[in-house]
């Protein structure tokens, strides 16, 4: 996928290494076999619905499992410092807020907090123009997940329409696999 030869530069940067229906569908054993030790997570619509105030019990338990399996985790979000830090603190993980993804700086900072290299780190997020693009620019393993909710920041709703076009093209080219779900721009959004 992201490492596929013959892809144009922009396609390579936007194509995730894999996709998953949710974070809970990620094959953690496969990540360990790939040498991944650190996981960088987006917050809104990756871990929880946009504007959700705290981690649900299921998410907290899953993050505990990550730790027991030897993974280190960090949240990297473009959202505000108070929101991101409070959420990360509730999960017991470090965070980088106001990340300005897809810029590289926040991803470098996350890897420093995790003590990992790009080759040892996977980025998990629901947006290809922030999470996937940012991770791929550094050679990290990227996992695109289906957004957990259709409620979003208004600016994200617009970006989802472009993202849907790009994802449809990647699906047609067989770069996301046959089971890749429809995304953002396909769905109606509340006003």
How many domains, in total, are found in the chain? Answer: 1
- So what's the pLDDT on residue 45? 87
- So what's the pLDDT on residue 13? 82
The reply to whether 107 falls in a domain is yes
Digit-by-digit pLDDT tens for the chain (191 residues) are 444 444 566 777 888 898 898 999 999 999 999 999 999 999 988 998 877 778 999 999 999 999 999 999 999 999 999 999 999 999 999 999 999 999 999 999 999 999 999 999 999 999 888 899 999 999 999 999 988 866 666 666 667 676 777 777 777 777 665 444 444 433 333 32
CATH of the domain at 72: 3.40.50.1000
Q: CA-CA distance, 28 to 168, in Å (whole number)?
A: 27
- So what's the pLDDT on residue 128? 85
The reply to whether 188 falls in a domain is no
The reply to whether 64 falls in a domain is yes
DSSP letters of 5-30?
A: TT--HHHHHHS-SEEESSGGGS-HHH
Domain that holds residue 164: 25-173
User: What is the pTM for the complete model shown?
Assistant: 0.81
- So what's the pLDDT on residue 12? 75
- So what's the pLDDT on residue 127? 87
Residue 67 preceded by cis peptide, ω within 30: no
Q: CA-CA distance, 68 to 162, in Å (whole number)?
A: 38
Q: CA-CA distance, 28 to 32, in Å (whole number)?
A: 6
The reply to whether 60 falls in a domain is yes
């Amino acid at each position: 996928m992201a490492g596929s030869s013959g892809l144009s530069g922009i396609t390579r940067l936007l194509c995730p290494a894999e996709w998953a229906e949710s974070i809970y569908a990620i094959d953690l054993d496969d990540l360990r076999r790939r040498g991944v030790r650190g996981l960088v997570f987006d917050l809104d619509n990756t871990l929880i619905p946009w504007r959700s105030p705290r981690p649900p019990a299921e998410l907290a338990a899953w993050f505990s499992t990550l730790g027991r399996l030897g993974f280190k985790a960090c949240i990297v979000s473009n959202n505000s410092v108070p929101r991101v830090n409070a959420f990360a603190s509730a999960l017991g993980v470090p965070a980088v807020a106001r990340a300005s993804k897809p810029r590289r700086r926040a991803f470098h900072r996350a890897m420093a907090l995790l003590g990992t290299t790009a080759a040892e780190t996977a980025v998990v997020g629901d947006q290809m123009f922030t999470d996937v693009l940012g991770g791929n620019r550094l050679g990290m393993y990227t996992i695109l997940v289906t957004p957990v909710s259709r409620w979003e920041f208004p600016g994200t709703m617009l970006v989802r329409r472009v993202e849907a076009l790009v994802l449809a093209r990647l699906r047609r080219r067989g770069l996301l696999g046959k089971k890749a779900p429809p995304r953002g721009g396909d769905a109606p959004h509340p006003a």
